Structure 1
Amino acid sequence: MSGTISIVNNNPTLGSFDVVISNVKAPNGVETVSVPIWSEINGQDDIIWYKATRQADGSYRVTIKATDHKNSLGNYRADAYIVDDSNKRFYITEKVVEVTQTRPSASLVIENNADLGTFDAVIRNIVAPNGVMEVLVPSWSLVNRQDDLVWHKASHQSDGCYRVTIKTSEHKNSLGNYRADVYIVDNANQRHYVTETIVDVKHNKPVGAISVVNNNKDTGTFDVIISDVYSSKGVRTVQVPIWSEKDGQDDIRWYEATRQANGTYTVNVQATSHKNSIGLYNIHLYYILNDGSRVGVGGTTTTVEFRNAKTKTQTYITNVNSEAGSFYSSS
C-alpha cells in the first residue's frame, strides 16, 4: 500500500485547503481513501475523518475548512488511510500544513454620549473576506460583571457603517464604565470577534416614557403607563397630575401611579373624575426622589370622548287609568 499526499489551494482568505492523495497503489484494490485531519491546537479535539472523492485522473481529493475545525489557525495534520476491498485499513502517509485566514476587521467609535444614559456604538471601516451577514455588539456595565449583558444587533446605515444605540434602561440602569464588543457574522454564519472599547456612561437627568393606552370613547376612560423610570437619586413616588383643557386646571387631579411587576407604573383615569370633560387632556409626570425633592420629567396629551355621557333616556307615560290604577310607559 502506498500513495503520495500533497496540499493544494491553501486559501488564506477562506481559511481552507485541499488534500490530494495521488499515486495510490493497493494490491487488494481500493474501497475508500480516508483522511483524518485536525489542528495541532488542543490535541485532537477537532479531529474529523473525511472520505476523499476519487478524481478523473485517479487521485483522491477532499476540501478542508477551518470553520469545521473550531476556526483554529496554525498547523494542521492530515493523514491518509486506504481501506482495501477486504475492508482492512492501512496507514499510508501524512502531511502538516499551516493554515492562515484573514480575519474580519473594523473600527469602533462611541458617539452621542451626552450624560443622558445612552450612547451610540458605530462600526466603520469593515473588512470581511467572507462578507457580512450581521454585526453584533454585546454590551454590559462593569458593575456586577455581566449580569446585564445584552447582545445588540447593529443596523446598516446608508454610509456603509453599522450603528446601535445602547440604553442604560436596558442594562438595569447601571452607570459608570460599560464595555462594548464588536462581532461580525460572515456569510458562512461564522461569528468573529473584532474589537472592543470601554465607555463611561453618565445620567444626570431623570427620565421616563409616558404612553396612553385603552382610550375608551364609550366610557371616557384611559390608562397611563410610565416606563423606563429612572433617576440617579432614586425614585420614591411616581406622580401624574392630569386635567382637561376645558376651563383651565379647575379639574386637576394628582394621581400616584401604581408600580407593576414588570417595573412600569400605571394610572387609570376616568372622565367622571374630571367633571365629565371631553376633549384634550394634559398629562404630566413628576417624581418624588429618595431625597424628598420633586422633579418634573415630561408630559403628553390625549383626547377624551365620553359618548355614554351624551346619551339621555326619556320616558313617556300614557294611557293613565285613574280608576284602574294603571298606566303605560315607553322610552
Structure 2
Amino acid sequence: MVASETEAKVISEDAEAADQSKHGATGGGTGVTDRVTDVYLGSNGFNIQYNQPIADGAKIMFAVWSDKNGQDDLIWYTADSHGKTTAKYTGSYGKYHIHTYQNLNGKMTGLNGTSIIVPEPSAKVTIAKASETSYKVTVSDVPVYISSVQLPTWTQANDQDDLIWYKTTKDSNTTYSAIISVAEHNLESGRYNVHVYGTSAVTNALTGLAGTHFEADYHFGDVAVDATLAKDGIDLTMPSDVSKGMAVYHAVWSAENDQDDIVWYKADPSGHTKANYTGSYGTYLVHTYGVVHGQMVGLNATSVLVPKPEVKANITKESATTYKVTITDVPIYIDDIQVPTWTEANGQDDLQWYKAEKAADG
C-alpha cells in the first residue's frame, strides 16, 4: 500500500479488512505487542498507539475519518516518538476508520487499517433516599467522552415552575452523582422528574442520556431540628440541604410567662443557629418554619429543658495547711465558678472569693 500524504483518499475498505486479519488490529486494544495499531476511546478523542519499532528517520502517521459522509472529515495526525497521538472526534457517532502509514523520506507506506465504534451516549440512573428530605441520584456507565453531567429536575405539580438543573460530582471515570432536596422544590410531595444530560466531546454539545422519576413523600416533622444546651445559648441544628434550599426561621421562647420573650432567628445556611437564653430556667420551645411561595410553613416543633443549676462540692485535705474544693455536675451554661470562703470566728472578717479552675472534664 503506497499513497501520497497530500491525497484526499486513503486505502480501500478491502485493504483495511485484510490488514486487520493479518495484524489482528480491531481497535479494542489488548496490550499484545504484535498488534500494529491500538485505538481507544478517550475523553477528548481517540488515543492511538502504534506498537511496532519505528525506523530511523521515519514518521508514523494516521489518517482518521468517520463513516458518515465518506471522507469529508478526514484528518492526518503525526505520532510522537513513542508512536502515540490523540485524534479528535469530528462530530459523529458510529464507526471511525484509522489507517496507519509510515512516512520515510516523503514516501508514504500503508502499514495497517483498523476501526473503532463510538456508541451513541446513554447512561444508567439509580435514585435512593438519602435522608427524610433528600434523594441521591447516581448516574453510571457514562461514556468516557462525556465531560460533565447535569440533572434537570422538576415536580409533576404545576408543570416546570420549579425546574432546577443540578450539577453533579464526578465519583469515578464513569459515575456521577448529586443530591436533590425537596426544600429546593417547595417541599412538594409526589412525582419528581429527573432527566440526565451530558456534555459530549464528540459533538461539543449537551445531549440527553436518560430520563427517570421518583416519588417523594415529605410530611411535617421530616425536617429534623435538634436543640441542645451550649455555653452561650441553645444550639439549633437542622439538615443543611433544607437551610440552603429555602429561607428558614426558628421561633424560640421559654414556657415561663407564655411568649413574652419570643425571638425569631433566621437559620444559617449551614444548618447551625444559636438562640440566646432569655433569663428563665425550664422548658424552651422551638418552632421552625420555611418560606414557601411567600408563606410561612411549619417544618418542625421541638423543645429543650434548661435545668436550674445544682452542683456538688467535695472537700479533701491536700496538706497540713491546704484543702481542695472540687465542684462537679456543673451545667454547661455555667462558665465561671467562684468559692467565697471564711472562718466561723469573727463573722466574715476573713472572707475571700476563690476563683475555681475549670478541669478538662468540666
TM-score for the superposition, normalised by structure 2: 0.48
Q: How far is the alpha carbon of 1:151 from its aligned partner?
A: 0.5
User: In structure 1, what is the Cα distance between the partners aligned to 2:133 and 2:127?
Assistant: 13
State the match for 1:181 in structure 2: 196
State the match for 2:95 in structure 1: 74
Are the counterparts in 1 of residues 150 and 165 from structure 2 also a CA contact under 8 Å? no
Q: Which amino acid aligns with 1:196?
A: A
Are the counterparts in 2 of residues 241 and 252 from structure 1 also a CA contact under 8 Å? no
User: In structure 2, what is the Cα distance between the partners aligned to 1:112 and 1:128?
Assistant: 22
User: In structure 2, what is the Cα distance between the partners aligned to 1:224 and 1:286?
Assistant: 10
* Residue-by-residue CA offset, 1:89-112 (whole Å, 9 max, x unaligned): 333348654322678976545566
Q: How does 1:99-118 map to 2 (within 5 A)?
A: 99-100=116-117, 107-108=124-125, 110=127, 118=134
User: In structure 2, what is the Cα distance between the partners aligned to 1:52 and 1:10?
Assistant: 23
What is the root-mean-square deviation of aligned Cα atoms in Å? 5.8
Match of 1:307 among 315, 319, 334: 334
Q: Does residue 210 of the first structure (1) align with residue 225 of the second (2)? A: yes
State the match for 1:186 in structure 2: none
- List runs of 5+ in structure 1 lacking aligned partners: 54-61, 131-135, 156-160, 184-192, 244-248, 321-326
* Structure number with higher strand proportion: 1
- List runs of 5+ in structure 2 lacking aligned partners: 4-14, 31-38, 41-47, 155-159, 199-206, 307-330, 354-362
State the match for 1:238 in structure 2: 249
* Residue-by-residue CA offset, 1:31-55 (whole Å, 9 max, x unaligned): 123213423378257x5311577xx
Q: How does 1:155-304 map to 2 (within 5 A)?
A: 166-169=180-183, 171=184, 177-181=192-196, 195-199=209-213, 205=219, 208-212=223-227, 215-216=230-231, 221-226=233-238, 227-229=240-242, 238-241=249-252, 243=254, 249-250=255-256, 255-259=262-266, 262=269, 266-270=273-277, 273-275=279-281, 283-287=285-289, 295=298, 297-299=300-302, 301=304
Q: Which amino acid aligns with 2:115?
A: E
**Closer, same or farther in 2 for the Cα pair 1:98/1:152, shift >3 Å?**
same
* Residue-by-residue CA offset, 1:223-261 (whole Å, 9 max, x unaligned): 32455558x9x97x7343455xxxxx4476564333267
State the match for 1:48 in structure 2: 77
What SS is found at the alignment partner of 1:34?
Answer: strand
User: In structure 1, what is the Cα distance between the partners aligned to 2:119 and 2:296?
Assistant: 57
TM-score for the superposition, normalised by structure 1: 0.51
State the match for 2:359 in structure 1: none
Q: Which amino acid aligns with 2:180?
A: I
User: In structure 2, what is the Cα distance between the partners aligned to 1:208 and 1:77?
Assistant: 57
State the match for 1:139 in structure 2: 151
State the match for 2:327 in structure 1: none
Q: How far is the alpha carbon of 1:274 from its aligned partner?
A: 1.8
* Residue-by-residue CA offset, 1:249-305 (whole Å, 9 max, x unaligned): 4476564333267485734222x6223x6xxx6553233867877735243647753
User: In structure 1, what is the Cα distance between the partners aligned to 2:94 and 2:85?
Assistant: 12
User: In structure 2, what is the Cα distance between the partners aligned to 1:289 and 1:154?
Assistant: 33
Q: Which amino acid aligns with 2:79?
A: Y
User: In structure 2, what is the Cα distance between the partners aligned to 1:146 and 1:292?
Assistant: 20
What SS is found at the alignment partner of 1:100?
Answer: strand
User: In structure 2, what is the Cα distance between the partners aligned to 1:174 and 1:148?
Assistant: 17
Q: Identity, % of aligned pairs?
A: 8
Q: Which amino acid aligns with 1:274?
A: S
**Closer, same or farther in 2 for the Cα pair 1:128/1:20, shift >3 Å?**
same
Q: Does residue 10 of the first structure (1) align with residue 26 of the second (2)? A: yes
User: In structure 2, what is the Cα distance between the partners aligned to 1:163 and 1:63?
Assistant: 33
**Number of residues of Structure 1 aligned to a counterpart in Structure 2:** 266
What SS is found at the alignment partner of 2:151?
Answer: strand
Are the counterparts in 2 of residues 240 and 285 from structure 1 also a CA contact under 8 Å? yes
Q: Which amino acid aligns with 1:50?
A: A
**Closer, same or farther in 2 for the Cα pair 1:255/1:152, shift >3 Å?**
farther
Q: Which amino acid aligns with 1:240?
A: A
Q: How far is the alpha carbon of 1:80 from its aligned partner?
A: 1.8
Are the counterparts in 1 of residues 229 and 333 from structure 2 also a CA contact under 8 Å? no
**Closer, same or farther in 2 for the Cα pair 1:329/1:117, shift >3 Å?**
closer
